[in-house]
Each structure stands twice: as C-alpha cells, then as structure tokens.
C-alpha cells in the first residue's frame, strides 16, 4: 500500500480505533471462552474489543494464526490486519545455544545464520515479529537474564546485535522466511542494582553511553524495525515514560524511525514505580515520551481517549504512533497478504530441517568453551568413562526462552555419547551416586562430571544472590574427585558460575552453557576430539559473587593493584580473593598451542584521519586444524575522563591447518579511539595509546602508538 493510502486510512480512523492499534494483548484474550469473565474483564473490554487491537503477543502456528487473523480482521472497522509478535529469542522449534553461548562463538556470521534459521521456522508458523535480539550488556551473573545476552562487552555485543538483526530481517521483511526484529530492552536493563531483575539502575551517563547503549545503536544502524522499552529506571526515571531516552537519545541521536513497544505492562508499572499518578497518567506519559505500543496493559485502552479528546494530549502524537504501526504492517506486506508466509505446508518443509539441525550442532561446536585442560582431553574411544550428574540425562538444556521448542527432540549428553561413541563403555550415574556406583566411577579411566544449572535457573526474574555451585554439586564434585582424579567438569547453565574449587581440582573444565536441541552432539565431539574447541568467554567467570559486577575492562583507580594475587594494603584489592576473574572475557583453549609474533605497526604516530595497520603472525603449533579468534584491545592512556585499562576493538576468526602460520592485520582508525569526553562529545583525544593483539583479554602482546593533532 502506498503512503498516501496509509494516510487516507489513518485519516478515516476514529480516535478509539487508532488507540486500539497501539494495544498488544496475549492469546488469552482471544479464546473461544466468554471473554467478559476472562482477562478482558480486568481491562473492561467487551467480547469484540480484543479483536480490534493492532498486534498480538505470543501466539504461533500457521493454521491458528490464519484463523485468528480472519477473526480479527472481520472485527476491524477498516479490516486492518494484525501483527503477530513472539519471543523467538534463539530459535523457534529448534533451540540453538542460548545467546550468552552464541556470544562465546565470537562469530557474528554464525549469529546471523542462527537468526535467519529461527526466522525461517517462525515465519512458516505465521509469526511476523520476534522480540529479539536482546542485547543488554551484562557484567553481573546474579541477573538471570544474562542467559539472553551476548555478554559483557560493548564491541562484541554490537557485532552480535547487528548480525541478529540482519539474520532475522534480511533486506526486506516482507520476504518469505524473514521477520521483523525488535531489539531490547531499551535501555541498560542488564545493569540492575545488586543483579536483581527489574531493579533500578544507577549508572553514570558516561557508562550508559560508553557501554550499555552501543549494542542498541548497532541494532538501529542495522535497520531493526522495533525497540522494546525496559522495565527499569535510568536516572530514577522509568524507561517507558522517559522522554529524553526515547525521543532525544533513541530517535534524535540514534535516528531510530521504527516502532517503540513497551515491555509487558511496563506502562502500567510506572504507577507502581511511583512516577505515574494512575494508569491514565501513565498512558499520557508513555505516549508523550514516545512509546507507541502498550503491551499487555489497559492504560492506552482506557486511559488515552479522554486525554486526546480533551486536548490534554495532542492527537498528532497518537497519529504519529499509529502511522508507525501501519507502516510496519505495510513493510511486512500484511495489507496485501495478512498471513505473510505462514502455512502448514511450509511448517512441515522448514521446521527441524536437516539444514537447521546441522546448524544447531555447528553452533554448539563454536559456543562451547574449553577453560582448562591438563592434557586429559580429548578422551580416547574404547576407554571406560564415567558420566556423572543428572544434567547428563536432562532435556532441560535448551534455555528458558525456548518456549516454542519441541523438548521431546532435545538430545541429552547421554544420548549423544551413546550414539557417537559406541565403542566406549559409559558408566552413568546421577547427582547422588550410591557407594556401589562410586566404586564403578573409581574404576573408570576418566569421569565426565556434569555440574551447574539447568534452564530453570536462568531467564526472566531468575536472579540469585550467590552464583556458587549448589551445595549438592559441590558435594558431588568432592565425592567423585575423591575416588577418581581424572575428572572433566562440564559446566552447564545460562550464567557464569563461581567454580574456584572445581577449576583447581578438575583436570579439565568445559563451559557448555545451555547447548540447545542438538548441541549435545557437539559437546560429545569436542570431548572425544572430533571437533577442536574454539569458543571464547563472552562473559567473565568470577571467583565469587562478592566480586560482582566484574569485567575484563577495568579502570586503573588511583591505587592499582600490582601484578600479584596476594593482598596488598592501601591499594584497590580484596583481602580474600584476587581482583581478576577466575576466567576472563575472551578466554578459551583449543587442543593446539597458538603462537603469536609481536605486533608490527605501519607507523607509531598518526594524525587525524590517518590509520595504522597492526599485524601479527599467528601459528598453529598443533597437529590438528583449529579456528583461532585473534583479539585486538586498545588502551587510551589518558583522557578528559578516566579510560578503561583495555577495550576490545576488533576480533578475527582465523582457520589454521596443522602447523600453519598466517598474517593477521587490523586497521587502527581515529574512529576506534573515540569516546565520550568530559562534555559527552564523542571524540578522539590526542595522546598515547597501547594496543594488544592476542589470544584473549589477558594478552600482553602489545605496542604503543600516538594520535597527534
Ligand atoms: C517479558 C520480557 C520480554 C518479552 C516480553 C513478551 O516480560 O521482559 O523480554 O519479550 O515480556 O513476552
């Protein structure tokens, strides 16, 4: 439909009809039961009104949505089609590894492929929009939603955010197999005080812009069609009614022109937060602030019409919001085809396809992180291997947002091992092995010990105060390692867990995360050496909860700690644990040693607009092929505000055959040196810098250079 027709349509709509286009309800409002006694009653809706709303939350299935679309359009005064939106976070029917694992691949191309595959499955099921990517930067694993994030670093999260948007949307969201993406949660939802979900954030404007906003900006620059407002406050103002955040920052500064949707009842929650007098006040504040769609509250439904008709709220604001929603429907092609590509035939054709399952397996190969290995891995086939822990036989390893996944298809580690290693004798036991089982474990050549958390322990609202292993798992580890020293710890979960005792005593430690529907095959292949691990931590693993929040990208303070783990008085450190994480961002091993040459710079001084080429040679010293993620970090030695000791500014995944050496180059530009200065100008300041190019965020392989005016 062309723009003029959209404008004519808008002009012909009543105020009530326009408001209804800005409301999103979940499927409970569209059941066949008597609506007046259902949730509609709370919203004081008659049986027809839900069908006049503009978008629907969480419904899926091609036939179901065709039917629902027909019923809704029949009740729409202008037969405007509805948009079906759902949380396809990291897969639809096929669950891929959780996003914190996807971040650990350091492979944006993989993220794009995953998003594209998820879009293919979801669009066949009639879904038009996904509430993904979730790009909330997070440096506190007490917050259960770190599972949904790609981690602690602005540069990595930005690369992943853009890749997810490209994968979901392609170059035209009306095309078959593509859906519109919604980046969330705007903004800084990943910085709740004390790591407690929904809590306020207390971060400076510099930290907001320098760390938390960059991934959203990357998603906007990649063309994301929707932005979802966050539950939290920033500077003591709820994001959903924060005009500065939504209009000045998101629309003016970032140039976002799409639809802003609130999180679930986030408009209504501003009353509880104490910044709106009542739900009508919340509705006014949210629309004025720039929130277009009110998800799952009755604020817009019952609170806006009076304000518009009385002139308290300019109808122009309503028209602008409605036009953005109509434009999104138009871009999706829904006026011409209200079902888009939802069809039962396509569901059969694309869901769980061989291609998608192969991608799910490859994804887990890239996201699994080998953290420690004294040489016990890879295991040899034909040995007698103990496999201990309930997690080895659990299907709860696909992530708590895999709400549409077919759990019956989840492959457990046990199933993968038995299928892929038939010549190996496995001895299985759960979280509480009997004395007889312990005797069998004692007789094994090695023990795979599955520790950590299943999917129920992370996700929305699943905050913990203590990120240690459970008492049961610590007890299990000590019982097993007492009878068999050859333990390989497989750590499951959607958050980094504090595992200092395991890291010390186990001969190998593997961060498995939550590997998804078919990811266990990859875990088995890595353990037995068919796959050379290449994952790198997207989020640091702390020694303990007391270190939180934590990141590799620290500040020097005025009293930096010398290079020691011992306590040093009168400097910034703890008496009981080191400052550094147990395992730092970007860390991860493979089965080969990788050698780096010192960086060579094309020059050591650049003027404005000039560039430096920094290169290293990277050599695979091992006998098997490997993918090495070469990482570039830069430090700005002095700024008009303090600057982190190092920041990730680039990474490249490099395939190396056995004993192959390759030259890897990075271009250092003035743009890479920019930051928000004392006056919040985004600029590069002349002065000294250090760059490092190496295997992880701990690399000391550095060289100095200067930027001069
Ligand atoms: C939830 C989540 C958000 C999700 C939305 C719709 O509360 O915060 O991430 O997209 O509601 O399910």
CA–CA–CA angle 141, 584, 643 (5° rounding)? 90
First to last CA, the chain: 52
Cα 701 to averaged position of ligand 1 atoms, centre (Å): 43
Count Cβ atoms below 10 Å from residue 507 Cβ, excluding itself.
Answer: 18
Please tell me the distance from the alpha carbon of residue 351 to that of residue 119, in angstroms, as a whole number.
11
Q: In ligand 1, which atom is closest to the CA atom of 134?
A: 9
- Let me know: does 539 contact 152? Beta carbons within 8 Å: yes
Tell me what pLDDT residue 689 has.
98
DSSP state of 209: I
SS3 86: strand
- Let me know: does 267 contact 238? Beta carbons within 8 Å: no
Residue nearest (by alpha carbon) to ligand 1 atom 8: 263
Residue nearest (by alpha carbon) to ligand 1 atom 11: 264
Q: In ligand 1, which atom is closest to the CA atom of 131?
A: 10
Q: In ligand 1, which atom is closest to the CA atom of 148?
A: 9
What are the helix (H) ranges across 190-254? 205-207, 214-221, 243
Cα 476 to averaged position of ligand 1 atoms, centre (Å): 36
Domains within the chain, CATH numbers bracketed = 1-56+65-85+313-340 (no CATH), 356-547 (3.40.50.1700), 594-708 (2.60.40.10)
What residue ranges line ligand 1, CB within 6 angstroms?
Answer: 57, 87, 131, 184, 263-264, 460
Where b means 16+ CB within 10 Å and e means fewer, 351-386 reads bbeeebbebbbbbbbbbbbbbbbeebbbbeeebebb
Q: Which of 87, 107, 263, 298 is catalytic?
A: 263
Cα 295 to averaged position of ligand 1 atoms, centre (Å): 9
Cα 44 to averaged position of ligand 1 atoms, centre (Å): 23
Cis? peptide before 220, omega within 30° of 0:
no
Residue nearest (by alpha carbon) to ligand 1 atom 7: 264
Tell me what pLDDT residue 696 has.
98
Cα 294 to averaged position of ligand 1 atoms, centre (Å): 12
Q: Which of 261, 264, 295 to mutate to test the pocket of ligand 1 (most atoms within 8 A of CB)?
A: 264
350-354 contacts, C-beta under 8 A, 24 or more apart? 350/120, 350/121, 350/124, 350/177, 351/92, 351/93, 351/94, 351/121, 351/124, 351/125, 352/93, 352/94, 352/406, 352/409
Judge residue 448's burial from the number of C-beta atoms within 10 Å of its C-beta, 0-12 exposed, 13-18 middle, 19 or more buried: buried
Cα 302 to averaged position of ligand 1 atoms, centre (Å): 22
| Regions of the chain short of the pLDDT cut 50 | none
Q: In ligand 1, which atom is closest to the CA atom of 184?
A: 9
Please tell me the distance from the alpha carbon of residue 590 to that of residue 139, in angstroms, as a whole number.
25
Cα 143 to averaged position of ligand 1 atoms, centre (Å): 15
Tell me what pLDDT residue 565 has.
86
Cα 418 to averaged position of ligand 1 atoms, centre (Å): 38
CB neighbour list of residue 253: distance below 8 Å, 6 or more residues apart: none
Q: Which of 131, 228, 266, 269 to mutate to test the pocket of ligand 1 (most atoms within 8 A of CB)?
A: 131
The counts of H helices and E strands in the chain are 21, 27
Q: In ligand 1, which atom is closest to the CA atom of 185?
A: 9
CB neighbour list of residue 494: distance below 8 Å, 6 or more residues apart: 98, 100, 144, 146, 147, 148, 399, 400, 453, 455, 457, 458, 459, 513, 514
Please tell me the distance from the alpha carbon of residue 138 to that of residue 145, in angstroms, as a whole number.
9
How many Å separate Cα 432 from the centre of its chain?
33
Please indicate whether residue 298 is annotated as part of the active site: no
Q: In ligand 1, which atom is closest to the CA atom of 89?
A: 10
Cα 243 to averaged position of ligand 1 atoms, centre (Å): 21
Please tell me the distance from the alpha carbon of residue 633 to that of residue 631, in angstroms, as a whole number.
7
Q: Nearest to residue 487, comparing CAs of 442, 430, 549? A: 442
Tell me what pLDDT residue 551 has.
97
Q: Which of 25, 59, 87, 89 to mutate to test the pocket of ligand 1 (most atoms within 8 A of CB)?
A: 87
CB neighbour list of residue 87: distance below 8 Å, 6 or more residues apart: 58, 130, 131, 132, 401, 403
Tell me what pLDDT residue 41 has.
74
665: left (phi over 0), alpha (psi -120 to 50) or beta: beta
Q: Are strands 687-694 and 702-708 parallel, antiparallel or unpaired?
A: antiparallel
Please tell me the distance from the alpha carbon of residue 492 to that of residue 509, in angstroms, as a whole number.
11
Residue nearest (by alpha carbon) to ligand 1 atom 3: 263
Tell me what pLDDT residue 576 has.
96
């Amino acid at each position: 439909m062309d723009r003029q027709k959209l404008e004519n349509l808008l002009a012909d709509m009543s105020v009530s009809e326009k408001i209804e286009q800005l409301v999103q309800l979940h499927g409970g409002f569209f059941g066949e039961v008597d609506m007046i006694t259902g949730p509609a009653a709370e919203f004081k809706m008659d049986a027809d009104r839900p069908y006049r709303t503009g978008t629907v939350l969480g419904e899926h299935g091609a036939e179901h949505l065709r039917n629902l679309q027909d019923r809704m359009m029949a009740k729409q005064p202008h037969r405007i089609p509805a948009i079906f939106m759902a949380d396809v976070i990291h897969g639809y029917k096929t669950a891929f590894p959780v996003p914190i694992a996807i971040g650990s691949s350091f492979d944006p191309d993989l993220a794009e492929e995953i998003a594209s595959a998820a879009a293919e499955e979801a669009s066949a099921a009639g879904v038009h929009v996904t509430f993904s990517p979730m790009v909330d930067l997070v440096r506190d694993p007490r917050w259960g939603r770190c599972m949904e994030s790609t981690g602690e670093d602005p540069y990595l999260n930005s690369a992943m955010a853009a890749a997810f948007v490209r994968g979901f949307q392609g170059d035209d969201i009306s095309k078959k197999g593509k859906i519109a993406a919604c980046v969330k949660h705007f903004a800084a939802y990943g910085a709740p005080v004390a790591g407690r979900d929904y809590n306020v954030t207390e971060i400076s404007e510099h930290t907001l812009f320098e760390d938390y906003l960059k991934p959203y900006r990357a998603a906007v620059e990649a063309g994301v069609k929707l932005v979802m407002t966050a539950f939290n406050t920033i500077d003591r103002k709820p994001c959903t009614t924060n005009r500065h955040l939504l209009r000045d920052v998101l629309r003016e500064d970032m140039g976002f022109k799409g639809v802003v949707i609130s999180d679930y009842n986030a408009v209504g929650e501003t009353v509880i937060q104490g910044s709106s007098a009542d739900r009508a006040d919340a509705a006014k504040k949210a629309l004025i602030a720039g929130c277009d769609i009110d998800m799952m509250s009755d604020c817009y439904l019952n609170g806006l019409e009076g304000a518009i008709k009385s002139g308290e709220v300019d109808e122009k604001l309503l028209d602008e919001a409605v036009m953005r929603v109509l434009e999104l429907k138009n871009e999706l092609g829904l006026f011409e085809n209200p079902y888009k590509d939802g069809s039962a035939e396509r569901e059969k054709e694309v869901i769980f396809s061989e291609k998608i399952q192969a991608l799910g397996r490859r994804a887990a190969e890239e996201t699994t992180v080998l953290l420690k290995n004294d040489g016990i891995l890879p295991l040899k086939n034909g040995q007698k291997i103990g496999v201990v822990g309930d997690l080895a036989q659990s299907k709860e390893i696909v992530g708590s947002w895999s709400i549409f996944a077919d759990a019956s298809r989840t492959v457990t580690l046990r199933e993968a091992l038995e299928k892929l290693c038939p010549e190996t004798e496995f001895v299985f036991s759960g979280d509480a092995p009997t004395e007889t089982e312990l005797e069998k474990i004692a007789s094994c050549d090695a023990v795979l010990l599955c520790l950590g958390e299943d999917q129920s322990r992370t996700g929305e609202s699943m905050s913990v105060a203590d990120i240690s292993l459970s008492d049961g798992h610590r007890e299990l580890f000590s019982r097993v390692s007492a009878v068999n020293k050859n333990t390989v710890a497989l750590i499951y979960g959607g958050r980094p867990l504090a595992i200092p005792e395991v890291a010390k005593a186990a001969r190998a430690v593997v961060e498995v995360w939550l590997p998804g529907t078919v990811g266990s095959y990859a875990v088995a292949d890595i353990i037995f050496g068919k796959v050379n691990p290449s994952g790198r931590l997207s989020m640091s693993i702390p020694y303990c909860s007391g270190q939180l929040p934590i990141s590799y990208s620290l500040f020097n303070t005025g009293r930096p700690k010398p290079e020691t783990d011992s306590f040093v008085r009168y400097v910034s450190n703890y008496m009981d644990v080191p400052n550094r994480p147990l395992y730092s961002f970007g860390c991860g091993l493979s089965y080969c040693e990788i050698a780096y040459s010192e960086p060579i710079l094309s020059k050591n001084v650049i003027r404005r607009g000039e560039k430096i080429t920094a290169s290293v040679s990277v050599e695979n010293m091992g006998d098997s092929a490997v993918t090495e993620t070469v990482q570039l970090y830069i430090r700005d030695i002095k700024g008009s505000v303090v600057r982190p000791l190092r920041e990730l500014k680039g990474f490249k995944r490099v395939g190396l055959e056995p004993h192959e050496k390759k030259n890897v180059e990075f271009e250092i530009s003035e743009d890479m040196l920019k930051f928000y200065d004392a006056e919040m100008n985004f600029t590069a300041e002349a002065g000294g810098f250090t760059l490092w190019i190496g295997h992880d965020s701990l690399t000391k392989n550095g060289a100095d250079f200067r930027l001069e005016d």
